[in-house]
Amino acid sequence: MNSHALPRHVPITVAYRGGHPENIHHGSLAVVNAQGQLLASVGDVDSPLFTRSSLKPFQAMPLIAQAAGRYDLSDADVALLCASHSGEPMHVERAAALLAKIGAGESSLACGSHVPFFFSTNGVTPEPGARFNRLHHNCSGKHTGMLLLAHALGAPQSGYLDIGHAVQLAIASSVSHFSGVPVTRLVRGTDGCSAPNYALPLRSLAHAFARLTLTEPDPVYGNAPRRIARAMSEHPELVSGQGRNDLTLMRAGRGDWVSKVGADGVQALASFSRGIGIAAKCSDGQLAPLMVAFVSVLEQLGWLDDESRQALASLMPPPLKNAAGIEVGDMRAVLELNATVA
């Protein structure tokens, strides 16, 4: 196997016990404007890191740019195509309805299946005998979009995840266009849902998200970037689900933020009013320390007010207590932004 240099992450969040550091979570973060300027950073923003589901807006981009009208896609539909959803009825039913537009069904999805995120997120146990299928997979919306794109391109539905398939070639072009990384230099892997996924420097991922906020049409994808971002921001419940971080973040932004999590400790967010994107990675893949650090960065950037702080409080882990209910520790952000551009 090829050997790649390890990213130069730094401590971003620390779990303390009795006021003494116990668990140190490392990571990196980039703040970039729509013109590609790195405004602030923490750690390593240049090493390629897998984007996982934070890439979904750009995987949906070719379809929305080329065929949103052909399939009469509503903004709610667009949001689902970019989702890492919780497998709630509103998600499953919309994905099924979109597949029906091209005469496809659940068996056409190549994402596999798992117990919906709704249960683990909300501490609920599925009813005895409950059965789940591919529509319940958190990536079923993304895969539905890929099948719609295959249909629009006149390409076969079978093999739509193959790297040489017309769908994946179109997606690679989209990722390259928005990130600024040439297609030939994209680092590729396979995601948890079996789709190709790309590793990007955090500065490139943040830049791509910042470009979603531009009001003028993109020279290649027209109004698709803005439409995707607005659809996600206006329908966060379809992008995410009850108790999930993207739903919480976008509601806290009150229409100004578009947010997308990625598995194993990735988070991206952009502000429409500021034209700025943020991309972060927690090196051990844990979501709780990532959110502690991410909210701290939003505070350091001056993006939070009392209402948004209150909305984001649910993302903060409670104090650590032992079995006797005694408070023994807590988790705190320790990262400090390094300003790059005045």
pLDDT tens-digit readout, 108-142: 999 999 999 999 989 999 989 889 999 999 999 99
**For the chain, what is the domain count?**
1
> Which secondary structure element, helix H or strand E, spans residue 48, and what is its range?
none
Q: Are 281 and 28 in contact (CB under 8 A)?
A: yes
Does residue 2 belong to any structural domain of this protein? no
Does residue 214 belong to any structural domain of this protein? yes
Does residue 3 belong to any structural domain of this protein? no
Cα atoms in the 13 Å half-sphere on the side-chain side of 82: 36
Could you please report the per-residue DSSP string of 170-220? Answer: HHHHHHHHHH---GGG-EEEE-TTSSEEEEE-HHHHHHHHHHTT-SSPBTT
Does residue 1 belong to any structural domain of this protein? no
Does residue 5 belong to any structural domain of this protein? no
Q: Whole-model pTM?
A: 0.96
What CATH number is given to the structural domain containing 91?
Answer: 3.40.710
Residue 123, domain extent = 10-339
**Average pLDDT score, the chain:** 96
Where is pLDDT greater, at 2 or 82?
82
Tell which residue, 93, 40, 83, has the closest CA to residue 59: 83
d(CA 150, CA 154): 6
What is the token pair recorded at 55? Answer: 């890439």
Of 2-16, 83-97, 150-164, the range with the lowest mean pLDDT is 2-16
d(CA 289, CA 317): 8
